């Protein structure tokens, strides 16, 4: 389907879900990004999610933020050295 129509083609293939509600292993994604030297940010765009949108968008975004913090290893802790 992707080869013929692309991700956003006429045949649904990808269901955009807020991190923590879909099937992406975000712990692996964060680990691979860090191993590659990435130190940027992750943007959470809740309006893509078919469930947590409109009135539930902020609820989904807060959940996603907390979920992604856990995936990266939890809250940032300063090295005491």
pTM: 0.75
Residue 73: HSE in the Cβ half-sphere, 13 Å Cα cutoff: 5
In a domain, 12, yes or no: yes
Residue 27: HSE in the Cβ half-sphere, 13 Å Cα cutoff: 5
In a domain, 52, yes or no: yes
- Predicted confidence (pLDDT) per residue in 62-75, tens digit: 999 999 999 988 88
In a domain, 9, yes or no: yes
Sign of CA dihedral 59, 13, 42, 67: positive
- Predicted confidence (pLDDT) per residue in 1-54, tens digit: 778 877 777 776 677 889 999 889 999 999 999 999 998 888 888 788 989 989
**Separation between Cα atoms, residue 29 and residue 54, nearest integer Å:** 27
Number of domains within the chain: 1
Structural domain boundaries enclosing 59: 1-37+47-72
In a domain, 78, yes or no: no
In a domain, 77, yes or no: no
Cβ 64 vs Cβ 45: under 8 Å: no
In a domain, 15, yes or no: yes
């Amino acid at each position: 389907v992707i080869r013929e129509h692309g991700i956003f083609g006429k045949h649904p293939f990808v269901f955009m879900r807020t991190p923590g509600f879909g099937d992406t292993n975000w712990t692996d994604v964060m680990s691979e990004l860090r191993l590659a030297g990435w130190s940027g940010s992750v943007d959470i765009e809740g309006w893509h999610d078919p469930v947590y949108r409109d009135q539930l968008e902020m609820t989904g975004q807060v959940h996603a933020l907390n979920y992604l913090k856990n995936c990266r290893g939890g809250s940032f802790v300063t090295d005491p050295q």
